[in-house]
Amino acid sequence: MTTDTRTDPAQPGLLPDGRTRTLLLAAAGFAVAVAAPHVLYPVFVMKVLCFALFACAFNLLLGFAGLLSFGHAAFFGGAAYVSAHAAKVWGFPPELAILAGTASAAMTGLLFGWLAIRRQGIYFAMITLALSQMVFFLALQLPFTGGEDGIQAVPRGVLFGLVDLNDPLAMYWTVLGVCLFGFAVIRRAVHSPFGQVLKAIRENEPRAISLGYRTERYKLLAFVLSAALAGMAGATKALVFQLASLTDVTWQMSGEAVLMTLLGGVGTLAGPVVGAALVVTLQNHLADSGVPVTVVTGFIFVVCVLLFRRGIVGEIEHRLRRRAP
Amino acid sequence: MLDLLGVPPQALFGQLLLGLINGSFYALLSLGLAVIFGMLNVINMAHGALYMVGAFVAWLLLTKFGLGYWWALGLAPLAVGALGLVLERGLLRHLYSVDHLYGLLLTFGLALMIEGGFRHVYGVSGQAYPIPDLLRGGTNLGFMVLPSYRGWVVVFALAVCFGTWFAIERTRLGSRLRAATENPALVQAFGIDVPRMVSLTYGFGVALAGLAGVLAAPIYQVSPMMGTNLIIVVFAVVVIGGMGSILGAILTGIGLGLLEGLTKVFYPEASNIVVFVIMAVVLLLKPAGLFGRER
């Protein structure tokens, strides 16, 4: 699907060849990563990164397996609670707290996915939404979650016993590392034979079954992977903001992952990152302006669905592909 | 006998009545969802928002125009239905040729806009809506006191549900509707205006939601967020019942309302999640839903 490593033999020299271009992109990315926390407010950049990973994890399911989950907040917020509790009450170091959150999200994902993949399409969306609402009520009522207050003042701790994460830059590089790891996993999964089977299921599930694939297993694995990565994003977010709260498990949070992915481009690798950056920026600006955020969010939804279904990155890729011979 | 269970009969019947009322709302809302889904293949995420709009129209009629409950009972569903027609003609119509999930996303966006708009104007706190004079007071049934308004809600909601069932399953218009659900192209070829039927179906489905909103106004407070959490429970109801059958949607709605009421008596902590747990169990035993067809 992506054409970024293919070179055009008809026009040698105009564009650098694949490897050089990848290196150039990597260098540019590295420069941006170094500059970002100095140019922008570090917590803002970390928030964007966490949401970008969250949206990418969601997009793995929607964009590559064609499954619309409306309950990803359960994994994102559930993992935030687990990692916050592990760091604060059990005294886990940050790396183990994030790991605990991720593992809990994977387990929840296994359970929810096992139930939800029994139905397709619209029903799948409704089932995941209902199951995540159950997690919301559990978070509201269970003793360890702190009810309406959530878990506050979560210690960031010392990474591997060496790096004190109370330093914003250290925290930033940790978040960047976690998120890059997540993106790498997603990229690897999408370009693997496993990812190809997922795309086959998305395009035509009966045909994939007739070719001998046990599509349920592929869908379940994709669901668990997506849930685990969404959980990793949520667990990291809990450490960044030192807070796990009910907001993280509401269905509106699931809606945000959908919005970021839709705006950036469903089924593109970079789309959710672009979408997350835009949506978080927008929310930050609107927060002080008095314009109701939900109305604007809803409006973007409507416009994207009606006029802009490829999303930003999807539209760019589409134009580039059409121009190329 | 009931005292043996350690529950005073007053509490038990009180909760069962509340369950029956909730069940009536579930039935009205899931009925509307099922009718819309049957015709448009769209799950209407804006259903909860339009239920809220119905309640607000009733409240505005009362406070701005002095028109009381009985006016609202007629006018609010019409207003919500008209809004539905506009939304279908203006927006939803353009999505029938693409993946059905886009319809879900569009209506989700609409729900956010409607609820966000009302919250911006009216704030999050609820507005009280008085019970109409005719239905004040209650009747002593011997084992409990039945407030007249609550009895009225149950009876009226059930009457509307079964009226809808009758109209769809037993009348000429309903048979055309069902035919158009099965095979729109063929029905169109017979000279029936299917696009208009689709619009009217959506309008009718959301009008049911508006009606439920009016019925709910005197029981719950009129607030912008009254539909959000309710609609997720209704989605679970729809998954449990399956959207294949009208009667199934009604029965599932009422049954789950009652079950929720019972849970409130015997194990209140679980009352919020009991519907979702039942949904999980039904998915394990009968994935297509209790009244659904595999497809």
Contact of B277 with chain A, judged by CB distance below 8 Å, is answered with yes
Nearest to A122 among B43, B113, B279 (CB): B43
Provide the token pair at A86. 């592990």
Provide the token pair at B248. 């199934």
SS3 B109: helix
In a domain, B142, yes or no: no
CA-based nearest distance B175→chain A, Å? 26
In a domain, B293, yes or no: no
Q: How much of chain A exceeds pLDDT 90, in percent? A: 23
Residue linked to tokens 């990597």: A26
Contact A119 B101 (CB under 8 A): no
Cα pseudo-dihedral A111, A115, A118, A119, rounded to 10: -120
Contact B116 A141 (CB under 8 A): no
In a domain, B134, yes or no: no
Provide, for chain A, the percentages of residues in helix, strand and coil under a 3-state DSSP scheme, each rounded to the nearest 5.
Answer: 75, 0, 25
- How many CB atoms sit inside 10 A of residue B170's CB? 9
Tens of pLDDT along chain B (295 residues)?
A: 455 566 777 778 888 888 899 899 999 999 998 888 888 888 899 999 999 999 999 999 988 888 888 998 899 999 999 999 999 998 888 888 888 888 889 999 999 999 999 998 988 888 888 888 777 877 777 777 788 888 899 999 999 999 998 988 888 888 888 888 888 888 888 888 888 888 998 999 999 999 999 999 898 888 888 888 888 889 888 888 887 778 888 899 999 999 988 888 888 878 888 888 888 888 888 888 888 765 4
Instruction: Reduce the secondary structure of B181-247 to three states and give it as a string.
Output: HHCHHHHHHCCCCHHHHHHHHHHHHHHHHHHHHHHHCCCCCECCCCCHHHHHHHHHHHHHHCCCCHH
Nearest-5° Cα angle at A92, A87 to A95: 95
CA-based nearest distance B182→chain A, Å? 18
Per CB-CB distance under 8 Å, the chain B contacts of A304 are 105, 109
In this structure, are residues B232 and A252 in contact, taking their beta carbons and an 8 Å threshold? no
Domain membership of residue B231 as a residue range: 2-129+148-285
Predicted pLDDT of residue A181 = 92
In a domain, B141, yes or no: no
Q: Exposure pattern of A122-137 as b/e (b: 16+ CB <10 Å)? A: bbbbbbbbbbbbbbbb
Predicted pLDDT of residue A17 = 63
Across A213-234, average pLDDT:
92
In this structure, are residues B239 and A123 in contact, taking their beta carbons and an 8 Å threshold? yes
Predicted pLDDT of residue A10 = 43
DSSP structure class, residue B124: S
In this structure, are residues B213 and B55 in contact, taking their beta carbons and an 8 Å threshold? yes
SS3 B146: strand
In this structure, are residues A248 and A158 in contact, taking their beta carbons and an 8 Å threshold? no
Per CB-CB distance under 8 Å, the chain B contacts of A262 are 105
Q: How many residues does chain A have?
A: 325
Predicted pLDDT of residue A7 = 43
Contact of B34 with chain A, judged by CB distance below 8 Å, is answered with no
Contact of A113 with chain B, judged by CB distance below 8 Å, is answered with no
In a domain, B292, yes or no: no
Predicted pLDDT of residue A72 = 92
Strand partners, A159: A163
Contact of A287 with chain B, judged by CB distance below 8 Å, is answered with no
Question: pLDDT tens across A14-69, in order?
Answer: 455 667 777 887 788 777 777 777 777 888 888 999 999 999 999 999 988 888 89
Provide the token pair at A120. 């397709």
> What residue ranges do the domains of chain A occupy?
40-249
The pTM is what? Answer: 0.87
Predicted pLDDT of residue A325 = 57
In a domain, B161, yes or no: yes
Query: Among B214, B208, B71, which residue's Cα sits nearest to residue B153?
Result: B214
Nearest to B116 among A258, A292, A305 (CB): A292
Count of domains forming chain B: 1
Predicted pLDDT of residue A2 = 42
In a domain, B135, yes or no: no
In a domain, B139, yes or no: no
Which A positions 47-76 lie with beta carbon below 8 A of chain B?
68
Across A87-100, average pLDDT:
87
pLDDT band at A185; cut points 50, 70, 90: very high
Contact A126 B43 (CB under 8 A): yes
DSSP structure class, residue B289: -
SS3 A12: strand
Lowest mean pLDDT among A131-135, A251-255, B243-247: B243-247
Contact A302 B229 (CB under 8 A): no
Domain harbouring B7, CATH code: 1.10.3470
Contact of A185 with chain B, judged by CB distance below 8 Å, is answered with no
Mutate to test the interface with A, among B273, B279, B282 (most CBs of A within 10 A): B273
Predicted pLDDT of residue A15 = 53
Contact A306 B110 (CB under 8 A): no
